[in-house]
Amino acid sequence: MLREAEAFFGRGAQGVADALNRVFAANGPPGAYIKGEEGGAALGVGLRYGHGTLYLSDGSTSRIYWRGPSLGLDVGGSAAKAFVLIYDLQTVNDLYQRFNGVEGSLYFVGGVGVNYNRQQEAGGIVLAPVRFGVGWRAGVNIGYLHLSPERSWVPF
């Protein structure tokens, strides 16, 4: 998993390896993961859109999209590569819903961050997005990620 992330983010992203090691130490290896890209912006109210490839433990892959609003003391914009670790996934269809989360970020030009998004009603599925991005963004917010097999511009 670390080799996949290093190849995806590039060899210069030591902070990404540190973030992944902390997630692995707390949760163990994931059952699935997503490699993708996302962009977002906020001025109190924020939006995030992303797309990528879902990799399952059986070797199958599929396209996946996500979007979501946020609300908080958050300002700025960012573009990031996202490596989303997925825990306790039973079926792919369980991913196509909303996952609540809290995020804090502070970076100028570049930064690494990880947060957790959970959905208790889905059997305890946990998403751990690791983001390596560029831009300027500062603040803390609450929101959710809505994953789906199709692209949508409606953030809700």
Q: Give the model confidence (pLDDT) of 90-107 as tens digits.
A: 899 999 999 988 877 766
The predicted pLDDT at position 4 comes to 72
Q: Which residue in the block uniquely carries the two structure tokens 């994931």?
A: 30
Instruction: Give bridge partners of residue 84 from the DSSP assignment.
Output: 34, 129
Identify each DSSP E strand in 95-124 by its residue range.
Answer: 98-114, 117-119
Q: pTM here?
A: 0.85
The predicted pLDDT at position 136 comes to 85
Q: What are the tokens at 35?
A: 């490699």
Instruction: Extract the residue ranges of the chain whose pLDDT is less than 50.
Output: none
CB 145 within 8 A of CB 67: yes
How is residue 122 annotated by DSSP? G
Spatial CB neighbours of 70, under 8 Å, sequence gap ≥ 6: 42, 45, 46, 47, 48, 103, 141, 142, 143
Spell out the domain ranges in the chain: 2-148
CATH of 2-148, one of 2.40.128.110, 3.30.360.10, 3.40.50.1820, 2.40.128.480: 2.40.128.480
How much of the chain exceeds pLDDT 70, in percent? 85
CB 101 within 8 A of CB 116: yes
The predicted pLDDT at position 1 comes to 67
Q: Could you tell me the maximum CA-CA distance found in the chain, to the nearest angstrom?
A: 41
3-state DSSP: the chain helix, strand, coil percent, rounded to 5? 20, 60, 20
The candidate with the shortest Cα–Cα distance to 105, out of 24, 32, 58, 38, is 38
- Are β-strands 98-114 and 61-87 bridged in parallel, bridged antiparallel, or unpaired? unpaired
